[in-house]
């Protein structure tokens, strides 16, 4: 790990202001992903700004019947909140499917959205990776590369990494909005659908956040009702990232919402695929994964997504 300086921020605006002043500064809260990456020098921040203790650890009700979740609410606390369990069951189910109990006790809502990919070529500094070193190439697309775990849609010739979060997949199904503050103190709201970027030619740019901009909260809209389910298919029964995950909210009339994880650089959902839900899993996945470009090693994910959703639709 390379040397770095450290400070505690006094409030969210001050944290963002400091991040804007110091080139190479990073925010740290739970540190469950950032510290791992610093140890292997994939991340080499010159300065850490500790944002713990800024009062962003509460879940409060909004005027329109929704909930505002502070960026520092821990995953365990979010999953266990009575209002989340009652009205946003898909979110609780996704949270408890992720990581381990110890990690969920430390991981934060904001940090979860900003997780870096678990692509092995990103983690191995002896390999080329356009996300880690722009312009160096994509090791996962080289002849003989291992791509079983990687993306099948939304990818590019520069990167086929997936987004690893379970929480974000459920939040995409729930249409959450991300709140931020930038170094000049300005705030803005960003629909989660627009928050993560596809790799294109610049896979190192993963979100729409500007330098120094900090997540302060995410807002859940009023409950949409229906039956909530989340199913994660993976190589081990626990502590493994998704090969395919499905977040499903299904209404009594057969309509609903479907979001996929483990297949793309961001939680994957479309209105057109949602509209196919009354027609069954085959129709939904055909629409949702239209234009997929899998490798020989991960083409199985298309059938796996369809079968996972089909099984969930029989559970009513």
- Over residues 159-202, the pLDDT tens digits come to 999 999 999 999 999 999 999 999 999 999 999 999 999 999 99
Residue 8: Cβ within 10 Å count = 12
CA 308 to CA 238: how far, in whole Å?
A: 17
Q: Note whether 114 and 107 are within 8 A (CB).
A: no
Four-CA torsion 220, 198, 241, 172, nearest 10 degrees: 20
CA 69 to each of CA 51, 170, 207, 225, 247: distance values in angstroms, whole numbers, following the listed order: 16, 14, 20, 19, 20
Of 51, 89, 24, residue with least CA distance to 247: 89
What does the pLDDT look like over 297-310, one tens digit per residue? 999 999 999 999 99
Q: Whole-prediction pTM value?
A: 0.97
Q: What distance in Å separates the CA atoms of residue 153 and residue 262, rounded to the nearest whole number? A: 10
Q: What stretch of H or E contains 217? A: strand 214-220
pLDDT value of position 237: 87
Domain residue extents for the chain: 229-314
CATH architecture of 229-314: 2-Layer Sandwich (3.30)
pLDDT-derived band at 29 (thresholds 50, 70, 90) equals very high
pLDDT in tens, 256-303: 999 999 999 999 999 999 999 999 999 999 999 999 999 999 999 999
Phi, psi of 260 (to 5 degrees): -115, 145
**pLDDT tens, 58-83?**
999 999 999 999 999 999 999 999 99
DSSP state of 74: B
314 vs 316: CA distance, rounded Å: 6
Size (the chain), residues: 316
Alpha carbon 212 to chain centroid, angstroms:
20
170 sits in which H/E element: helix 167-174
């Amino acid at each position: 790990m390379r040397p770095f300086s450290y400070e505690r921020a006094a409030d969210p605006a001050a944290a963002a202001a400091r991040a804007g002043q110091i080139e190479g500064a990073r925010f740290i809260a739970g540190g469950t992903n950032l510290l791992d990456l610093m140890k292997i020098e994939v991340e080499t921040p010159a300065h850490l700004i500790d944002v713990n203790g800024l009062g962003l650890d509460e879940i409060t009700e909004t005027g329109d019947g929704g909930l505002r979740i502070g960026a520092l609410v821990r995953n365990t606390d979010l999953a266990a909140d009575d209002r989340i369990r009652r009205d946003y069951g898909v979110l609780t189910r996704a949270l408890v499917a992720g990581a381990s109990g110890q990690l969920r006790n430390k991981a934060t809502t904001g940090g979860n959205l900003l997780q870096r990919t678990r692509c092995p070529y990103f983690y191995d500094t002896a390999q080329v990776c356009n996300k880690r070193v722009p312009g160096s190439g994509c090791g996962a697309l080289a002849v003989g590369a291992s791509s079983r775990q990687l993306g099948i849609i939304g990818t590019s010739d520069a990167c086929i990494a997936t987004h690893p979060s379970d929480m974000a997949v459920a939040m995409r199904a729930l249409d959450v909005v991300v709140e931020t503050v930038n170094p000049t103190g300005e705030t803005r709201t960003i629909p989660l659908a627009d928050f993560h970027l596809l790799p294109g030619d610049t896979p190192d740019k993963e979100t729409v956040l500007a330098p120094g901009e900090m997540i302060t909260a995410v807002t859940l809209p009023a409950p949409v009702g229906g039956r909530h389910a989340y199913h994660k298919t993976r190589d081990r029964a626990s502590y493994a990232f998704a090969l395919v995950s499905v977040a499903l909210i299904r209404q009594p009339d057969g309509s609903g919402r479907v979001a996929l994880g483990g297949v793309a650089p961001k939680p994957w959902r479309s209105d057109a695929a949602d509209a196919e839900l009354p027609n069954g899993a085959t129709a939904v996945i055909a629409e949702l994964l239209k234009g997929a470009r899998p490798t020989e090693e991960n083409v199985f994910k298309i059938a796996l997504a369809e079968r996972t959703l089909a099984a969930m639709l029989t559970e009513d």
